[in-house]
Structure 1
Amino acid sequence: SRATWVWSCLKMLVPVLAVLRQPRSQDARLSWLASLQHRVAWGALGWAAAWQQQRLEQRTRHVGQSQQQALRWCLQGAQRPHCPLSGSTDTNTFRNHLPLTKISQAQEEGSQEQLLPPTSNQYHGDAFLQATLLGLAALKKAHPEVVAPGSTACVTPTSPWPRPLPWLGHALGQASSPGARDPGALLLEALRCPGLRALEAGTATELLDVFLGLEADGEELAEAVATGNPGPPLPRRAAELREALEQGPRGLALRLWPKLQVVVTLDSGGQTEAVAALGALWCQGLAFFSPAYTASGGVVGLNLWPEQPRGLYLLPGAPFIELLPVKKGAQEETTSTVLLAEAQKGMEYELVLTDHTSLTRCRLGDVVQVVGAYNQCPIVRFVCRLGQALSVRGEDIGEDVFSEALGQAVRQWPGAKLLDHVCVESSILDSSEGSAPHYEVFVELRGLRNLSEENRDKLDHCLQEASPRYKSLRFWGSVGPARVYLVGQGAFRSLRAALAASPSSPFPPEMPRVLRHRHLAQLLQRRVVS
């Protein structure tokens, strides 16, 4: 295919760039050979991105044909023994014969095989490559200076780019590149480079952990820079690091890297709180950009608009995507989906992707709102995840509703900044003790070391204002007041490490806001300080 041919052409540049690459100091003037290497690399990427843009234009102008082709690939790769479709690729026939299935149900029916990401290998690789190339082109257009040699560093072993191009990392002049390396070593490389203009991390929660670790181990890192472990000693740079850290977290990134312009992370479920915390404290004054939105490990949306403060994503029609209307307050769930060209602006939909191996129409639980259109394709904004709703008496408080209520409560806590939170229904921890069921809420804060009872009560009041159903249950005593606990620094880092250690953990990792497993809730319970 043309996609394979393009990828082969890009890989042919590897030996050329390897010959051109020469070791050099970050502070040394670029030789003409290094400058040529950089121009060749960006020229190749620019050509490939232009070709991908042309393909995107064709797909979005004829989204019906694009979805038909995506469905055809799904049907060709299906391994379902008694498929009732008999070779038909009509979308209406397909939707009428195959029922919708939630991910949890699909995984149970499919034994222990991971059903997602629901794309063929070709679509999987093609979507990842397209998101990376178009994301790089959009970032270069919005922030031209970040493409200068030595201007970008990745501080986590994972990359924000869906299809990382490590063989181009040195050619593009990255101060550090992602890989299977120690996160501390990556951060140390970045700290040695004061001229960075772009900071990369796998996800916002991972970057939050990096800055928390930087504060905890700042003196040790500064000493390593001063003594040259590794690399040449940089005592002056070490002094700058110590001075920047002494002034606290607010604006730390710009004090460490005065030329920094943008933070690049990959968007997935549960990242909103981390982005808000980073923007309010360590990365204050910086732009944030996510090249793609991923659900259950697969690329779903492309971001072509780095200048937008909140992520906007284009649903390009491949893999085969359906939209299930979300009807709030409805007694019965609708099972009738719409195709991309039928999406209506302002409506909220749950994403439905088709698994090509078992031919399963999976409801991902990710809810998006349509905010516009690009040709015939909808532009969406992520809203919430249905699987992260709270319900101890059928009140069904969604992830977005709870987060908004918690944010409103925290703004009433003097000096407090919310870093992270999760909720647990009291039955998980057996904490009702004969009282009404309730929510257990664990928060990590900055600027507040102790929670008064008055502060704790404010969350329950905000929840009642946000949810009439919850207010009614509280009035009749069917639901008890939410209990709020402050955990110590590093508690959520430990939680994320435990989540990442799970064999079923998706990539990129999604941050849960409702814990369903007792051992994870107990991990936070042991770290409560107030």
Structure 2
Amino acid sequence: MLLSSRCVPGTVSNPVYIFCKAVIIPILQTGERSPEQLADLPRALRLTKCQSQCPTSGPELGSLPPPRSCLEMLLLLLFLLLLLLLPLLAVLWQRQPQDARLSWLAGLQHRVAAGTLCWAAAWQQWRLEQSTLHAGQSQQQALKWCLQGAQGPRGPLRGNTDISTFRNHLPLTKASQAQEEESEGQLSPPTSTQYYGEASLQATLLGLAALNKAYPEVLAPGGTACVTPTSPWPCPLPWPWRALGQVSAPGAKHPGALLLKALRSPGLRALEGGTAAELLDVFVGLEADGEELAETIAAGNPGVPLPRRAAELREALEQGPRGLALRLWPKLQVVVTLDAGGQAEAVAALEALWCQGLAFFSPAYSASGGVVGLNLWPEQPRGLYLLPPGAPFIELLPVNKGAQEEAASTVLLAEAQKGKEYELVLTDHISLTRCCLGDVVQVVGAYNRCPVVRFVCRLGQALSVRGEDIREDVFSEALGRAVGQWPGAKLLDHSCVESSILDSSEGSAPHYEVFVALRGLRNLSEENRDKLDHCLQEVSPRYKSLRFWGSVGPARVHLVGQGAFRELRVALAACPSSPYPPEMPRVLRHRHLAQCLHKRVVS
């Protein structure tokens, strides 16, 4: 044996030693690793000390200095793997025929990748347990990290980590105000790229572990395909992704090429899309371009001609959209997308039509300032996320429905109360801006000392032409009621515009312009259009009062043609200030974006 299996003082708590003992040695001895043994690895990693004292034997990995970060540990592990496997690979390579060599090497690569991710996820899970058990200390460390990276006139605060002093010196800033000051060169609101590091890596590793636990076959070779240019994983890992079953070529960005690669692989277990809205566009485009894709697959451009697979594609499309994904990929188990503001509508449409019968999983919730919520429970109802106490530094501002108290004080994660709603406040570690993101969450439970939340709405997506302030969730409820009264209609997408943006009042009272994409209904009668206005009055007494006095005109509903919202998303992605992807705005504030939908109105 290269390493002694007996207890070595100072080594059992070292994750590198545990991984070598649990994974590498059995691979070298038997050439394979059973799923049951891999499943026991997280339990082994939770060992923190030796249970008995034994004589030292074999190389003392415990004498190595402890790695300072997860990345250093991964690099150390990969270097050790290379040293251990090179002699064995050289011997076995000479004994096997070429096909057997490639197959064996691919299997070994998959086992090593799975073991590495399992080890790294267990390490992150241990860190999460410790940080959530000591949430107050973890948030103090996160604040210290923010202060150390501070630049500009607020730099003197970096030596003081007192929460009260921090709050007194830095007033709360609204996201819109931060954007205005950013244009003047004073501040910068938090962006999703500023925290693309430890938080994103943690969300990815823990999400992969949770997904693998719920659906073990997903990480089998050739079991997963991503059909959008963006990934649902906050921090995609380049090497293990290829070894863990991704059929998409790394670096491929054209949506058509990604979809074609997935269609050529009938054995998929998981289908990935950057967001639900992007995946919705993929399925709508698949219906429109299905015949062309079938011809390409049959001709083998690129790849080997697959006429039988092309016939299966044509047959699946002929049966309509409902359940299409399972007809194309009979072994499909789960759809993976990244959750964010404005995505719930697209998820509901996919669940009801193309992805009917499939589970949906999001590894994290991406708010305006980056990765915020972690999803540790794929088997639980969708939309529950843990707010971790590490960087970025998060505060919670109590929200009072109907009126926001400007003088309200923020609370830390451990102080959140179940059932209450809070607005997320993130601190930018560069300019030390305490920015109110507008994302509202409701606390539904707790994980150790940290809150488990569901995201309710975005305050920046409220409608208000006369001060009525209809929140995003309130409008969605009214629209859902109205669509439910339209015979045969299924809502796919919607966006709203205040009449002043399009100059459509023409002397009448200000009102809302509502653009909808539907399936199952080609025309909207006046009676159906009026139902939305009635539903808005039911859910908002303030709106009802303004309508009664004539201060606000009736909402105008427009049906747009197929592909209108895909064109809107292309325009959004090209806009530097747009949060899409991953967030999908439901209220458009710019005229050129509203025109993308207005010119595609069919009814």
Name the count of aligned residue pairs. Answer: 523
Task: Give the CA RMSD over aligned residues.
Answer: 2.3
Mapped pair 1:233 → 2:300: no
Query: Any idea what the Cα deviations from partners look like across 1:200-229, whole Å, max 9, x if unmatched?
Result: 011111100100110111001111111101
CA distance in 2, matches of 1:246, 1:179: 33
Q: Which residue in 2 is equivalent to 1:431? A: 504
**What SS is found at the alignment partner of 1:459?**
helix
What does residue range 397-408 of structure 1 map to in structure 2 within 5 Å? Answer: 397-408=470-481
Q: Which residue in 2 is equivalent to 1:90? A: 162
Q: Which residue in 1 is equivalent to 2:548? A: 475
Query: Any idea what the Cα deviations from partners look like across 1:436-476, whole Å, max 9, x if unmatched?
Result: 11110000000000000011011111111111111111111
**What SS is found at the alignment partner of 1:330?**
coil
Change (3 A) 1:271 1:126: same
Q: How far did residue 17 of structure 1 move?
A: 13
**What SS is found at the alignment partner of 1:370?**
strand
Q: Which residue in 1 is equivalent to 2:434? A: 361
What does residue range 46-85 of structure 1 map to in structure 2 within 5 Å? Answer: 46-83=118-155, 85=157
The code of the aligned residue for 2:151 comes to Q
Q: Give the gaps of 5 or more residues in structure 1.
A: 23-27
Q: Who wins on radius of gyration, i.e. which is larger?
A: 2
CA distance in 2, matches of 1:65, 1:245: 55
CA distance in 2, matches of 1:209, 1:120: 25
Q: Please say if residues 154 and 432 of structure 2, whose CA atoms lie closer than 8 Å, have aligned partners that are also in contact.
A: no
**What SS is found at the alignment partner of 2:151?**
coil
The code of the aligned residue for 2:505 comes to S
Query: Any idea what the Cα deviations from partners look like across 1:489-512, whole Å, max 9, x if unmatched?
Result: 000000000010112234633111
1:33 to 102, 105, 127: 105
Q: Which residue in 1 is equivalent to 2:258? A: 186
Q: Which residue in 2 is equivalent to 1:221? A: 293
Q: How far did residue 6 of structure 1 move?
A: 2.6
Mapped pair 1:5 → 2:62: no
CA distance in 1, matches of 2:466, 2:341: 25
CA distance in 1, matches of 2:220, 2:158: 54
The code of the aligned residue for 2:510 comes to P
CA distance in 1, matches of 2:190, 2:542: 36
CA distance in 2, matches of 1:293, 1:178: 24
CA distance in 1, matches of 2:184, 2:215: 44
Q: Please say if residues 160 and 265 of structure 1, whose CA atoms lie closer than 8 Å, have aligned partners that are also in contact.
A: yes
2:536 to 434, 443, 463: 463
Higher relative contact order (CA 8 A, sep 6+): 1
Q: Please say if residues 267 and 292 of structure 1, whose CA atoms lie closer than 8 Å, have aligned partners that are also in contact.
A: yes
CA distance in 2, matches of 1:214, 1:487: 19
Report percent identity of matched pairs: 82
Q: Give the gaps of 5 or more residues in structure 2.
A: 1-67, 94-99
Q: How far did residue 33 of structure 1 move?
A: 2.7
Q: Which residue in 1 is equivalent to 2:574? A: 501
What does residue range 246-285 of structure 1 map to in structure 2 within 5 Å? Answer: 246-285=318-357
Change (3 A) 1:266 1:85: same
Q: Which residue in 1 is equivalent to 2:279? A: 207
CA distance in 1, matches of 2:460, 2:527: 31
Q: Please say if residues 428 and 518 of structure 1, whose CA atoms lie closer than 8 Å, have aligned partners that are also in contact.
A: yes
Mapped pair 1:485 → 2:558: yes
Q: How far did residue 117 of structure 1 move?
A: 3.9
Q: Which residue in 2 is equivalent to 1:25? A: none
CA distance in 2, matches of 1:167, 1:364: 34
Query: Any idea what the Cα deviations from partners look like across 1:61-110, whole Å, max 9, x if unmatched?
Result: 00000000000011111002245636210112111221000122112223
TM-score normalised by structure 2 residue count: 0.83
Q: Please say if residues 118 and 354 of structure 1, whose CA atoms lie closer than 8 Å, have aligned partners that are also in contact.
A: no
CA distance in 1, matches of 2:214, 2:405: 45
**What SS is found at the alignment partner of 2:188?**
coil
TM-score normalised by structure 1 residue count: 0.94
Q: How far did residue 168 of structure 1 move?
A: 1.6
The code of the aligned residue for 1:255 comes to R
Q: How far did residue 118 of structure 1 move?
A: 6.2
Query: Any idea what the Cα deviations from partners look like across 1:344-371, whole Å, max 9, x if unmatched?
Result: 0111100000001100001111011111
Q: How far did residue 10 of structure 1 move?
A: 6.3
Q: Which residue in 1 is equivalent to 2:177? A: 105
**What SS is found at the alignment partner of 1:366?**
strand
The code of the aligned residue for 2:501 comes to I
Query: Any idea what the Cα deviations from partners look like across 1:275-297, whole Å, max 9, x if unmatched?
Result: 01111110011111000111125
**What SS is found at the alignment partner of 2:243?**
coil
Change (3 A) 1:7 1:294: farther
**What SS is found at the alignment partner of 2:340?**
coil
Q: Please say if residues 297 and 507 of structure 1, whose CA atoms lie closer than 8 Å, have aligned partners that are also in contact.
A: no
Q: Which residue in 2 is equivalent to 1:370? A: 443
**What SS is found at the alignment partner of 1:53?**
helix
Q: How far did residue 14 of structure 1 move?
A: 10
Q: How far did residue 179 of structure 1 move?
A: 3.2
Q: How far did residue 333 of structure 1 move?
A: 3.1
**What SS is found at the alignment partner of 1:190?**
helix
Q: How far did residue 31 of structure 1 move?
A: 2.7
Query: Any idea what the Cα deviations from partners look like across 1:304-359, whole Å, max 9, x if unmatched?
Result: 01112322111111211000011012264343100000000111100000001100
